[in-house]
């Protein structure tokens, strides 16, 4: 499958590094015209995993009713690339749950120093989690892990936040 890269991006990408602008073009071409949440999450997680170095997990968690019957919404694992992952994360727990609770991106240089870190893969050393906010409500997170400490920079954060914005835009 060839990914279209000539279409103009729907948001200003001038602040992105050239590598992330190129990745954003690929993501836009891949997601353009598709509105299915799971399909787009699957393709975007695969694209990021294949094109960024030093990653061991890339995926989505979506906010859903607690399947264990607890009443409060929880994060449930969605499409991802990497080793099997934690299935259920409570809001406020771990890096993903904190991203939802704070509604802000979490860039963690050393996950072992993060209070309450959930070690789905003990090889992970750093993590970047972007909350997905649509129509004012958090619907999930885009989560990226690396086996390297301090893997994620401000450049990575800006790039991944942009890709998350493209993902949300694709849903219509």
Position 29 in a domain? yes
Q: How confident is the model at residue 68 (pLDDT cuts 50, 70, 90)?
A: confident
Position 1 in a domain? no
CA distances to 49, 60, 125 from 144, rounded to whole Å, are 9, 9, 11
Mean pLDDT over residues 64-72, rounded?
77
User: Would the pLDDT of 3 be above 60?
Assistant: no
Residue 32, domain CATH: 3.30.450.40
**What share of the chain in percent tops pLDDT 90?**
84
Convert the pLDDT of each residue in 11-39 to its tens digit. 999 999 999 999 999 999 999 999 999 99
**Whole-number Å distance between alpha carbons of 79 and 133:** 18
Full domain range(s) for residue 31: 18-170
Give this prediction's pTM.
Answer: 0.93
What's the structural domain count of the chain? 1
Mean pLDDT over residues 116-134, rounded?
91
Sign for the pseudo-dihedral over CA of 40, 119, 96, 90: positive
């Amino acid at each position: 499958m060839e990914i279209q890269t000539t279409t103009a991006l729907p948001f200003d990408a001038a602040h992105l590094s050239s590598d992330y602008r190129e990745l954003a073009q690929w993501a836009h071409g891949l997601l353009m015209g598709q509105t299915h949440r799971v399909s787009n999450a699957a393709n975007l997680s695969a694209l990021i995993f294949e094109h960024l170095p030093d990653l061991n997990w890339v995926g989505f968690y979506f906010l859903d009713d607690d399947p264990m019957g607890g009443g409060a919404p929880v994060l449930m694992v969605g499409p991802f690339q990497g080793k099997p992952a934690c299935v259920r994360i409570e809001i406020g727990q771990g890096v993903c749950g904190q991203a939802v609770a704070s509604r802000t991106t979490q860039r963690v240089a050393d996950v072992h120093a993060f209070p309450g870190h959930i070690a789905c893969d003990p090889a992970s050393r750093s993590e970047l989690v972007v909350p997905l906010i649509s129509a004012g409500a958090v619907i999930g997170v885009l989560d990226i892990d690396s086996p390297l400490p301090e893997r994620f920079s401000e450049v990575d954060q800006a790039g991944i936040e942009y890709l998350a914005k493209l993902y949300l835009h694709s849903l219509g």
